[in-house]
Amino acid sequence: MTNKLLQQKFNQILDNDLLKEIFESGIYKEFKKNDIIIDINQPLNYIPLLLTGTIKILREDNHGNELLLYFLESGDTCAMSLTCCLKTSKSNIRAVAESDSSLVLIPTSKIHYWFQTNDSWRNFILEAYQIRFNEMLETIDTLAFMKMDERVYKYLIDKVKLAASTSLDIKHNDIAEDLNTSRVVISRILKQLENEKKIKLSRNKIEILNF
């Protein structure tokens, strides 16, 4: 981890003294796309600060089916893993690298201490809670009020925003897993969206039109 990268991502959020402490006590890690960063029932002794890349946060039901909750971008942390750290409980989410990612792991002891002693850290954590809470509400609204074709299109739009590109390298099965449905359903809906001139399909690639 370079101090320059840490400064680039967090210098507008965290004060310089804290960034120096993070650089000295944090653990730098790199993950490849699809690597599991945090798994369900894993004891958590740290929280991640995402430097580069994108991470998706998933829940799993009793049958092993996954549901996408939200994405983390560079400059984010995961409030749900923070809660588990503070309670010294096991993880109730799975964090998977959506793309090649780098992050710094903050030990639990530092999380507690900085929350009591550093205003910029406390504000950062409280804001992270609020952002993730709003995203959870959006996920619930999507499940409760949107039809599956609307959910799929919203999912694609969200991915475009994250990737900053209208061309997505993604398989139908990946979408099905994230939205907890079948590949057949996703393929049918994608073909419907293509007929509506909203997307263009090719092998393992989807282009979003008129975005």
| In a shared domain, residues 34 and 112 | yes
Cα separation of 31 and 48, whole Å?
Answer: 12
Instruction: State whether 137 and 192 are in the same domain.
Output: no
Residue 89 shares a structural domain with residue 180: no
In the chain, the amino acid numbered 204 is N
Could you tell me the residue range of the domain that residue 101 belongs to?
A: 3-144
- The answer to whether residues 126 and 42 belong to one domain is yes
Using an 8 Å Cβ cutoff, are 14 and 120 in contact? yes
**Among residues 171, 174, 156, which one has the least CA distance to residue 205?**
171
Kindly report the CATH number assigned to the domain that includes residue 14: 2.60.120.10
Total number of domains constituting the chain: 2
- Residue 79's SS3 state is helix
**What CATH number should be reported for the domain holding residue 196?**
1.10.10.10
Same domain, 24 and 74: yes
Q: What is the pLDDT along the chain (211 residues), one digit of tens a residue?
A: 567 788 888 988 999 999 999 999 999 999 999 999 999 999 888 889 999 999 999 988 888 888 898 999 999 988 777 777 666 678 888 999 999 999 999 988 898 899 999 999 999 999 998 998 898 888 889 888 899 999 999 999 999 998 889 999 999 999 999 998 999 999 999 999 999 999 999 988 999 997 7
Contact assessment for residue 68 and residue 56, using Cβ atoms and an 8 Å cutoff? yes
Spatial separation of the C-alpha atoms in residues 203 and 145, rounded to whole Å = 31
Cβ atoms of 176 and 169 within 8 Å: the answer is no
User: Among the three residues 144, 170, 197, which one is the final residue of a domain in this structure?
Assistant: 144
